[in-house]
């Protein structure tokens, strides 16, 4: 495998990781912002409320996107294994 092939495969993997991790991060950020705003408006400063709500929101996001996440990961892995004979030459 040439260094160019390795860099290309690693960059594909990093892009896939960023693409798959972006939706839960966005959901956690938006939910955290909304809960923080509500806590500031009601003057309730309990840290566990924000953590619990974000945990549930991220879990629901991962559950709803599990088919997409799995298909993208499997597709990348299959493409990597399909190209493996040409990469080791």
CA 71: distance to chain centroid? 14
Retrieve residue 72's tokens: 């993208």
CA angle, residues 54, 35, 20, in degrees to nearest 5: 35
Model confidence pLDDT, tens digit, residues 27-71: 999 999 999 999 999 888 888 888 999 999 999 999 999 999 999
pLDDT of residue 75: 95
Range of the domain at 10: 3-87
The pTM of the full predicted model, rounded to 2 decimals, is 0.80
Q: How many domains does the chain have?
A: 1
pLDDT of residue 14: 96
């Amino acid at each position: 495998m040439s260094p160019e092939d390795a860099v290309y495969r690693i960059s594909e993997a990093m892009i896939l990781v960023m693409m798959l991790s972006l939706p839960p991060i966005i959901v956690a950020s938006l939910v955290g912002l909304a809960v923080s705003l509500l806590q500031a408006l009601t003057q309730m400063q309990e840290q566990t409320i924000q953590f619990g709500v974000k945990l549930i929101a991220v879990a629901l996001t991962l559950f709803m996107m599990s088919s997409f996440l799995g298909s993208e990961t499997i597709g990348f892995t299959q493409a990597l294994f399909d190209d493996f004979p040409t990469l080791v030459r």
